Amino acid sequence: MSTVMTKAINLKLVRNENERSEPEVEKEVVYDTKGLNLWYGETHALKNINMDIKEKEVTAIIGPSGCGKSTYLKTLNRMVELVPIVKTSGQITYKGKNILDKSFRVEDLRTQVGMVFQKANPFPKSIYENIAYGPKIHGIKNKKILDEIVEKSLRGAFIWDELKDRLNDNAYGLSGGQQQRLCIARCLAVEPNVILMDEPTSALDPKSTLRIEELVQELKKDYAIVIVTHNMQQAARISDKTAFFLNGEIIEYDKTDHIFNNPTDERTGDYISGRFG
């Protein structure tokens, strides 16, 4: 645990230095949420959410259980609709188009927006087939190209060296941390623009958690990453921006430093210092 902490502090320092030295480049907005409301039947789960998410940044969403943070994340790729009683209003603009529009094809959205789940959910297939699944359903059949995609994706998730000799083994033989990185690699295989992560390390040990966090730092060079976490230290370590959700509302959304060191809202401060949650 202590190594994780030291490493975390280091990570934070490194990131702060980078921020100081880097001039502010205007980053493109990937997701623009305006006046989003969401109901599960009668329950008003998200209330007037306004939030923009930028490319090449890690956006963390924190808040106590049941605050709507996972719901919001799942709205970004419309996985929330798997619950049949969901109703939404407002709009989420992704690359200029309102994804909540019923005419928007969810499959296109989900091809461009990858998702990593709380519990690693590889398919009960070989490691190779897990990675090749995404490209295959989108029509890539050429074995050579698939081989390249598999290698590139596994390298991208820093798991190639561990797995290259056992690509035909069942993914369920891997450890929890490896499975989660495999799921990230599976996500990378279709080259998305955004990666949504729903508490990706909550079921992992500290060492695997650290590896995923390092991976997130690497991935943000190319992807917009939105990560829901109940671990505030994790949000502080890895994110550029943090949104604090409470009872379905955004209480505060700002640069992570600002949220953690100088929160504007009293409730944010209380939550971060562990007074509730």
Q: With CB under 8 A as the contact rule, which of the stretches 2-10, 102-110, 149-157, 214-222 interacts with another protein?
A: 102-110
Asked if 139 interacts with another protein (CB under 8 A), we say no
Q: Which of 170, 217, 231, 233 binds another protein (CB under 8 A)?
A: 170
Q: Are 124 and 171 in contact (CB under 8 A)?
A: yes
Q: With CB under 8 A as the contact rule, which of the stretches 8-16, 85-93, 117-125, 258-266 interacts with another protein?
A: 117-125
Q: Which of 5, 14, 83, 137 binds another protein (CB under 8 A)?
A: 137
Element (H, E) at 113: strand 113-116
Token digits for 273?
């210092």
Q: Which of 104, 123, 158, 160 binds another protein (CB under 8 A)?
A: 123
Q: Which of 68, 114, 200, 263 binds another protein (CB under 8 A)?
A: 114
Q: Are 188 and 156 in contact (CB under 8 A)?
A: yes
Q: With CB under 8 A as the contact rule, which of the stretches 5-13, 17-25, 47-55, 77-85 interacts with another protein?
A: 77-85
Q: With CB under 8 A as the contact rule, which of the stretches 128-136, 155-163, 202-210, 252-260 interacts with another protein?
A: 128-136
* Rounded-to-integer distance, Cα 19 and Cα 16, Å: 5
Estimate to the nearest angstrom the gap between the alpha carbon of 226 and the chain centroid: 4
- Give the residue with the Cβ less far from another protein, 44 or 110: 110
Question: Smallest distance, Å, CB 77 to another protein?
Answer: 6
Asked if 187 interacts with another protein (CB under 8 A), we say yes
Strands 86-94 and 194-198: unpaired
Q: Which of 12, 54, 110, 155 binds another protein (CB under 8 A)?
A: 110
Asked if 227 interacts with another protein (CB under 8 A), we say no
Task: Find the distance separating the first CA and the last CA of the chain, reported in whole Å.
Answer: 22
Strands 29-40 and 113-116: unpaired
Closest CA to 132 of 154, 113, 112: 154
Q: Give the interface size with another protein as a residue count (CB under 8 A).
A: 30
Strands 86-94 and 58-62: unpaired
Q: Are 185 and 132 in contact (CB under 8 A)?
A: no
The SS3 of residue 76 is helix
- Give the residue with the Cβ less far from another protein, 121 or 262: 121
DSSP state of 220: T
Element (H, E) at 92: strand 86-94
Q: With CB under 8 A as the contact rule, which of the stretches 5-13, 112-120, 151-159, 243-251 interacts with another protein?
A: 112-120
Residues engaged in binding another protein (CB under 8 A): 77, 79, 82, 84, 107-112, 114-115, 117, 119, 121-125, 133-134, 136-138, 170, 172, 183, 186-187, 190
